Structure 1
């Protein structure tokens, strides 16, 4: 079977990077076209409109978190079953999970639209009337795309397991390019404002989701395609548990963004929210390489763990550590040397937003030295179907440590404490990751 040959072959450093490269490129591209959205909004609408997008981000992040939970959790289960030569069961599980994802997306859309006003007020959109109008316009459009957003994220994971990472990359790029082109048409040419940005984003989500549906329906020669589903509650709940670390990580990102927004409104007003939005865009781009690599090699790890290829597991783990450490140092260098150029894309040098963001970048960049190792370790335990450890790492790293820092540091050292929160959380998380790796090194053949 093609998938078995792809996932079970012997990898060296360069072939491992080559296999993960499409997923890395996909993650980077998704981050870049998200940032392009921000550039168009900041340049052609207003800083308040950019703040509105970030105000809505906790809800957007919730939808992505649910999709990643199902996608990464089910992906590990399905890849493991393929490694155990249970291909038919893997296809049944795949079909069932896609249906579950679509149903969850519909539920989010309905409840989100019904409860939109109180939710947006809770998120801080009521700080000014203009901010609320911008946020509600954008939110309404994005909520309608919820089912397609979840399907897009599911297919992104499943194309890798199906041995078609390049195809997954291609359709995501197609959606991203459509988003960028439509941003220009709707925002610049037609002057549709933030509504244009929302519609462009919705179409960019719709394209890869529909393509994925068509591909897995039509391509019966693929090792992974739609079959008659078998309703299996255990598969659904195990996928949720196994992928819970990825959900925790993204859900925590939503909660942390909410906390950042409230603190920035308190200390620096709407300009502060715009500045932290820019900072998060930069972080999404730089950290996407770590996310992409980890997601790219996860099916290989799951497959070889299922087939008990211990030599291959050790080799992949050691290569991955080398790649992550090298990438971490590189990302820190890029952020410190070129961070100001990223900021200039969305804020003029004369603006208050620019100066707030540049001051924060010098502190915030420290997190890139440690982030990659923590992301990879969490994904590693997901690949081993150990969702509990993976969730514990993510929960501490992305929520407990960050929120604790945000509660304590700004109250004592002001705005500097806001920028220090994530670097401190990443440093503390390194020790947590080392503990779990050491405790489980023999169980998962890491030594």
Structure 2
């Protein structure tokens, strides 16, 4: 029965649970990553390069609004996992209702503001000259659908918190596949140009929302859409906000890193160096999908068992997740080291880029085998509801270490300093995370005090 599904998180073997949770998450991340790549190819070939520029102008705004849904989802899902583990279904249901309320309030409010200041925001994000009009068309249509995307991202994390990763995987696949099919129909067949690209994205969000809504209205879900739980609870809202802020802070730092990298590399090597980073950034998105999937799969398992006070299972979930993710990281590392040239040749035929990118990529991925500890360690604190260490450990890698390194090392080592900053930041953040995670295990889990 649906009511017993979450209980398997506290009963089944940890290894089996991790694989069952991580594989669907990995597939969903992979499909979404492929969608971004293929969608860019379609738009560039069927509309033109100006369309790619226009979409890139809009993405920071639409992604930030959608990220609010993700943040609310991850923050609230930590509460839900622990509540279900403790057998407090009423608190889980109330949290879910509060998540819906906050997602609607914040995203609709942001969309209203975004549309009101549309003609000022678009140029501010680079939509100038010939880019302005297609960006304006895409921006206006896509923003109408962004609240639905935010609800999907929020709902997806809740589905995973209930212990139903396959449903969560389908929720991630639907908008990706739907967007590609709609791109073909609206852009290629109906020749709707930029409007077609925008409506393809918006309609794909609606398809995903329809599926997520069906899930929570069906017998598959333990949590229901209950208007009584929509009333905001101060303590629950505060916990959602504190834990969700970790996700928002991570997104903000990622944006700063992209901004810094593009400017520093342009100064050091011009457009070619920026292109090299563009290829490497794509590979970071694609190649690490199994490690990120393992991290996503770990979250509900750790949260549920922590809430159930099953300390030994929490400890085993940490150790097993780090082991599995490290093995996957080692395989990714080996693939990059051996096939770097072949990978780069898929993206471009430019001989300069092909000659420069492989070695840079090898440096960037040099610490991949150990990065699992940092990802799982910071995710653990978020899963158990400890927002402050979760935030600090999440920011160590790119915020506290990478940004200072990438600002200083290039002054002495040139472009090589940029690439060396990646493994050094990974190493330092892993050491810091390992220290605090070991301390947490010894003081809390080994003593059984939680």
Counterpart pick for 1:33 among 35, 38, 42: 35
Q: How many Å separate the matches in 2 of 1:340 and 1:190?
A: 39
Match of 2:101 in 1: 99
**Could you give the per-residue CA deviations for residues 53-112 of structure 1, whole angstroms, max 9, x where no partner exists?**
445444344234322221111101011111111112211210121121122111222222
Go from structure 1 to structure 2 and tell me whether the alpha carbon gap of 1:195 and 1:44 turns closer, same or farther (over 3 Å shift): same
**Could you give the per-residue CA deviations for residues 276-319 of structure 1, whole angstroms, max 9, x where no partner exists?**
33332221122332222222221111111111112212221221
CA contact (8 A) 1:70 1:97 kept: yes
| Further displaced range: 309-318 or 265-274 | 265-274
Question: TM-score scaled to structure 2, two decimals?
Answer: 0.87
SS in 1 for 2:365: helix
CA contact (8 A) 2:295 2:379 kept: yes
Matches within 5 A, 1:223-262: 223-227=222-226, 228-229=228-229, 230-262=231-263
Go from structure 1 to structure 2 and tell me whether the alpha carbon gap of 1:241 and 1:299 turns closer, same or farther (over 3 Å shift): same
Match of 1:378 in 2: 378
CA contact (8 A) 1:51 1:277 kept: no
Match of 1:304 in 2: 305
Offset, 1:353 = 5.9
Q: How many Å separate the matches in 2 of 1:281 and 1:418?
A: 17
Offset, 1:264 = 4.5
Counterpart pick for 1:75 among 50, 72, 77: 77
Match of 1:423 in 2: 423
Go from structure 1 to structure 2 and tell me whether the alpha carbon gap of 1:236 and 1:296 turns closer, same or farther (over 3 Å shift): same
Match of 1:65 in 2: 67
Match of 1:3 in 2: 5
CA contact (8 A) 1:287 1:372 kept: no
Q: How many Å separate the matches in 2 of 1:205 and 1:337?
A: 38
Q: How many Å separate the matches in 2 of 1:365 and 1:412?
A: 22
RMSD across aligned positions (CA):
2.9
Match of 1:183 in 2: 183
Q: How many Å separate the matches in 2 of 1:360 and 1:331?
A: 16
Match of 1:213 in 2: 213
Q: How many Å separate the matches in 2 of 1:138 and 1:275?
A: 28
Go from structure 1 to structure 2 and tell me whether the alpha carbon gap of 1:65 and 1:251 turns closer, same or farther (over 3 Å shift): farther
Go from structure 1 to structure 2 and tell me whether the alpha carbon gap of 1:46 and 1:436 turns closer, same or farther (over 3 Å shift): farther
Q: How many Å separate the matches in 2 of 1:100 and 1:20?
A: 28
Go from structure 1 to structure 2 and tell me whether the alpha carbon gap of 1:196 and 1:415 turns closer, same or farther (over 3 Å shift): farther
Go from structure 1 to structure 2 and tell me whether the alpha carbon gap of 1:395 and 1:135 turns closer, same or farther (over 3 Å shift): farther
Go from structure 1 to structure 2 and tell me whether the alpha carbon gap of 1:258 and 1:154 turns closer, same or farther (over 3 Å shift): same
Go from structure 1 to structure 2 and tell me whether the alpha carbon gap of 1:49 and 1:436 turns closer, same or farther (over 3 Å shift): farther
| Further displaced range: 12-21 or 222-231 | 12-21
CA contact (8 A) 2:405 2:421 kept: yes
CA contact (8 A) 1:182 1:200 kept: yes
Q: How many Å separate the matches in 2 of 1:155 and 1:54?
A: 26
Matches within 5 A, 1:107-146: 107-126=109-128, 129-130=129-130, 135-146=135-146
- Asked if 1:286 is matched to 2:258, the reply is no
**Any unmatched runs of 5+ in structure 2?**
none
**Any unmatched runs of 5+ in structure 1?**
none
